[in-house]
Amino acid sequence: MRLSLPILALAAASFGIGTTEFVIMGLLPDVARSLSVTIPQAGYLVSGYAMGVVIGAPIVAMATASIPRKTALLALMALFTIGNLGCALAPDYWLLMTARVVTAFAHGAFFGIGAVVASNLVPREQRTQAVSLMFAGLTLANVLGVPFGTALGQAAGWRAAFWAVVVIGIVAFLAITRFVPSGMPGTRGGLAKEFRALGRWPVLLPMLISTMASVSMFSLFTYITPLLEEVTGLTPHGVTGALLAIGVGLTIGNLIGGRLADRNLLSTIVGAFICLVIVLGALALVVHMTLPTLVLLILWGGIAFALVSPLQIWVVDAATDAPNLASTLNQGAFNLGNATGAWIGGAALNAGMHYAQLPLLAALVAMAGLGLTLSSFIDRRILPAQISPAE
């Protein structure tokens, strides 16, 4: 499908959001040294952001429920830009944490509302692809935003990366103003009904699977820089190149996942989890070797992000009478997984686990996600609507 200007505007915003979420990972050692904290403590800035998404998603969803979708998106981008300005100016660790949490409040609602808007701009059989194209901004953040933000932060100080994101936020705000259509109303008097709809297990299951997918990814991704430096033996510049290569994998995997899911949603999710377990297991065996590690990390990133848009559409389909709120809260589920993954990884390291063992930890969590997905076969009422084109 073609990338329309409204979806391109949404992708530009998701590029900025993805950059501010992930760039901190490439700068963990720099932030830790600058603010006199340990690397695991700096890693909690990832958890803090993710928990800001988790807590902020339902609050912001309720606050913006009756607002037209375009107005809500613009308000969220303004909050995002102000939060990043606070990150750039924060003089100490706790004020940086506070600014990260403020920024995160815009994250879940933006992706939740944006996913519904994107899916409504295309025919039904192209909805997952449309969502994956919007999320392509998030993956391109890992191709361009994170590596170049890391390089900028290493060269000019980590605060420079957040100043760059402020500029991106302003550009995205203007793009949404110009290109996203205004004719999409918010919820009118149905918010209580939407919350009741979310209590059903067919809606909660894909949200739980989304959480497990993120736990798996971020238990490793949060600490990718020290792993590559201390275990694989890459230089800081080498880490930047590795992050760029992983970002390419994320982008390609995201787009492939969207295309495959429009053909068969559940098979795409099951297949991705199986491949994820295999790749992570192999990575644990070769993490001391540069070339095999880079190849497997590219594959790992692609497979992990191939799950994002299919799981988002599964949640929206399961909550047909609460799509906006369900889509927003699923972003909270993803980021609950981000926070939990970063915390589990940090706790494991503090307990004595070596960086080289983190892929095995991630593989175990991916196996749990696979088990939950397969459990949907027990009750066909839980299965996604788009199991196959014939159905």
Does residue 389 fall inside a structural domain? no
pLDDT for 380 equals: 62
Give the residue-averaged pLDDT of 17-25: 85
pLDDT for 194 equals: 63
Do 134 and 11 form a contact (C-beta atoms < 8 A)?
Answer: yes
* pLDDT interval class at 390 (50, 70, 90): very low
Structure tokens at 120: 């409504």
How far is residue 336's CA from residue 322's CA, in Å, rounded to a whole number? 20
Kindly tell me if the per-residue pLDDT of 280 is higher than 80: yes
Kindly tell me if the per-residue pLDDT of 386 is higher than 60: no
Kindly tell me if the per-residue pLDDT of 389 is higher than 50: no
Does residue 322 fall inside a structural domain? yes
Does residue 199 fall inside a structural domain? yes
Return the top range by mean pLDDT from 102-116, 161-175, 309-323: 161-175
The conformational region for residue 185 under phi > 0 = left, psi -120 to 50 = alpha, else beta, is: beta
| CA neighbor of 153 nearest in space, from 80, 218, 236 | 236
| CA neighbor of 191 nearest in space, from 99, 66, 4, 48 | 66
pLDDT for 298 equals: 95
Least confident of 155-159, 199-203, 353-357: 199-203
Kindly tell me if the per-residue pLDDT of 247 is higher than 60: yes
| CA neighbor of 111 nearest in space, from 345, 308, 261, 271 | 308
How many degrees, rounded to 5, is the angle at CA 53 between CA 360 and CA 173?
A: 120
Task: Note the pLDDT tens digit of each residue in 202-216.
Answer: 888 999 999 999 999
Give the residue-averaged pLDDT of 99-126: 85
Does residue 388 fall inside a structural domain? no
Give the residue-averaged pLDDT of 148-152: 83
Does residue 318 fall inside a structural domain? yes
Average per-residue pLDDT for the chain: 86
Task: Note the pLDDT tens digit of each residue in 38-75.
Answer: 887 888 888 788 788 878 877 887 788 778 888 999 99
- Per-position DSSP letters for 47-80, written without gaps between them: HHHHHHHHHHHHHHHHHTTTS-HHHHHHHHHHHH
Give the residue-averaged pLDDT of 186-203: 68
pLDDT for 378 equals: 75
Kindly tell me if the per-residue pLDDT of 191 is higher than 70: no
Do 44 and 315 form a contact (C-beta atoms < 8 A)?
Answer: no
Distinct helix (H) and strand (E) counts, the chain = 17, 0
pLDDT for 1 equals: 53
How many degrees, rounded to 5, is the angle at CA 258 between CA 255 and CA 259?
A: 90
Does residue 383 fall inside a structural domain? no
pLDDT for 99 equals: 93
Does residue 384 fall inside a structural domain? no
CATH of the domain at 118: 1.20.1250.20
| CA neighbor of 273 nearest in space, from 370, 376, 340 | 370
* pLDDT interval class at 376 (50, 70, 90): confident
Do 354 and 258 form a contact (C-beta atoms < 8 A)?
Answer: no
Kindly tell me if the per-residue pLDDT of 388 is higher than 60: no
Kindly tell me if the per-residue pLDDT of 141 is higher than 50: yes
pLDDT for 195 equals: 67
pLDDT for 391 equals: 40
Do 231 and 283 form a contact (C-beta atoms < 8 A)?
Answer: no
pLDDT for 362 equals: 96
Domain of 147, in residue numbers: 5-180+190-378
Do 343 and 124 form a contact (C-beta atoms < 8 A)?
Answer: no
Q: Write down the pTM of the prediction.
A: 0.79
Residue 378: partners with Cβ closer than 8 Å, 6 or more residues away: none
* pLDDT interval class at 192 (50, 70, 90): low
Say how many domains are in the chain: 1
Q: Which alpha helices (H) appear in 222-322, and where do they start and end?
A: 224-227, 236-263, 265-286, 290-306, 308-318
Does residue 390 fall inside a structural domain? no
How far is residue 220's CA from residue 211's CA, in Å, rounded to a whole number? 15
> Which letter does DSSP use for residue 227 in this model?
H
DSSP-based three-state secondary structure for 389? coil
